């Protein structure tokens, strides 16, 4: 680990907790959240919109894993999303720059592409796989907050004091979501709400992308460890989708056509490959997902994984 002292915002949340477990013993960790969570670390409580609380938490840190945010459009109003996810991010980056923090890892989202949230106006991909040159078309407040957050991060790196890497995780398939994942697989046409009693509906867009929390946490750690200066972005996704149909078949059934295939060999080699181009994540970040939940999605309730 290149950094001795690391602040994890949103550390009491599900992804934050996965990151704390992955980072245990690799750095001196401080957690910042609305309340203290599990983990024998230094905890600071507050909200990202409180600039003084943020500055106090940032002081003395070498790096920051910025996971704290309103996590989706169902968890707050558009105004609240902009306040927490953008004003809060500005407070954090300003404090980091002032405190001499070297690197910030920002939790963005694949929703910046515009083909993730059904409640938004889904914008079909122009080509497959979707890489960093693909247009970004966010259509809901959460996705917009993440795209503007990426631009804010890039702006701060242009000032020359911070290195910032934006991570774009897809739907994180926590164990608490397995019941919903199974319920959706059993009734893909009628699934809605939380029939299995999960904390939220199973997500991942029309093709049901997902990433295991252990993989997501490791990707954030790899972003801390990689040699890099400036600003960069990476998709964080499992190597397979969860929809019963192969990816191209599923997409054609949704759109009525197939977008241009820039790398058809990807889907020839792996019919359930995601819509996102993960080659940069493998080659530059060194991230390749080790886990997936396709087997979980095929199980009946009560069966062992």
Over residues 165-190, the pLDDT tens digits come to 999 999 999 999 999 999 999 999 99
- Report the pLDDT value the prediction gives residue 299, as an integer from 0 to 100: 61
For residues 215 and 176, the answer to whether their CB atoms sit within 8 Å is: no
CATH annotation of 5-298: 3.40.50.720
**Total number of residues shown for the chain:** 305
pLDDT at site 300: 52
Q: What is the pLDDT of residue 152?
A: 98
| Residues of the chain with confidence (pLDDT) below 70 | 1, 299-305
Phi/psi at 74 (5° precision): -90, -5
Rounded to whole angstroms, the Cα distance separating 168 from 109 reads 4
- List, in order, residues 6 or more apart from 117 with CB less than 8 Å away: 72, 73, 111, 139, 140, 142, 143, 205
**Integer Cα distance of 262 and 68 in angstroms:** 35
pLDDT at 304: 45
Structure tokens at 274: 């995601």
Task: Return the structure tokens found at 109.
Answer: 């989202």
Element (H, E) at 144: helix 141-158
Given a contact cutoff of 8 angstroms between Cβ atoms, the answer to whether 106 and 167 are in contact is yes
- For residue 278 the two structure tokens come to 């993960």
pTM above 0.75, yes or no: yes
Can you tell me the distance from the alpha carbon of 267 to that of 259, in angstroms, rounded to the nearest whole number? 13
Q: Which residues contact 260 (CB under 8 A, 6 or more apart)?
A: 126, 127, 128
Whole-number pLDDT of residue 305: 45
- Rg of the chain over Cα atoms, rounded to whole angstroms, equals 19
The pLDDT of residue 118: 78
- How many Cβ atoms from other residues are within 10 Å of residue 265's Cβ? 8
- Give φ, ψ of 296 to 5 degrees: -60, -40
Instruction: Please return the burial class of 114, using the count of CB atoms within 10 Å of its CB with bins 0-12, 13-18 and 19+.
Output: buried
pLDDT at position 119 is: 73
Alpha carbon 211 to chain centroid distance?
Answer: 9
Beta-bridge mates of residue 164: 104, 231
CB contact set of 290 (below 8 Å; sequence gap of 6+): 212, 214, 215, 218
Mapping DSSP to helix (H, G, I), strand (E, B) and coil, where does residue 146 land? helix
């Amino acid at each position: 680990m290149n950094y001795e002292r690391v602040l994890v915002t949103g550390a009491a949340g599900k992804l934050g907790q996965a990151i704390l477990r992955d980072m245990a013993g690799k750095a001196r960790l401080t957690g910042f959240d609305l309340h203290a969570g599990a983990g024998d670390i230094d905890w600071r409580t507050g909200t990202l919109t409180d600039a003084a609380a943020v500055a106090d938490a940032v002081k003395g840190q070498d790096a920051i894993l910025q996971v704290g945010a309103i996590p989706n459009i169902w968890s707050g109003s558009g105004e609240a999303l902009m306040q927490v996810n953008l004003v809060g991010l500005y407070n954090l980056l300003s404090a980091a720059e002032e405190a001499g923090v070297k690197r910030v890892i920002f939790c963005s989202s694949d929703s910046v592409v515009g083909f993730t949230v059904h409640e938004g106006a889904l914008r079909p991909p122009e080509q497959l796989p979707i890489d960093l040159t693909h247009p970004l078309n966010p259509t809901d407040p959460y996705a917009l907050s993440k795209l503007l957050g990426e631009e804010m991060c890039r702006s701060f790196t242009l000032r020359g004091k911070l290195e910032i890497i934006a991570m774009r995780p897809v739907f994180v398939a926590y164990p608490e979501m397995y019941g919903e994942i199974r319920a959706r697989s059993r009734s893909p046409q009628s699934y809605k709400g939380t029939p299995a009693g999960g904390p939220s509906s199973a997500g991942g867009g029309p093709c049901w992308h997902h990433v295991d929390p252990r993989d997501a946490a490791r990707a954030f750690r790899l972003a801390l460890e990689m040699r890099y200066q400036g600003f960069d972005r990476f998709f964080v996704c499992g190597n397979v989708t969860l929809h019963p149909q192969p990816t191209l078949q599923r997409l054609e059934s949704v759109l009525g056509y197939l977008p241009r295939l820039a790398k058809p060999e990807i889907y020839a080699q792996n019919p359930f490959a995601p819509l996102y181009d993960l080659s940069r994540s493998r080659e530059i970040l060194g991230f390749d997902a080790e886990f997936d939940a396709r087997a979980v999605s095929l199980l009946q309730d009560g069966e062992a994984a």
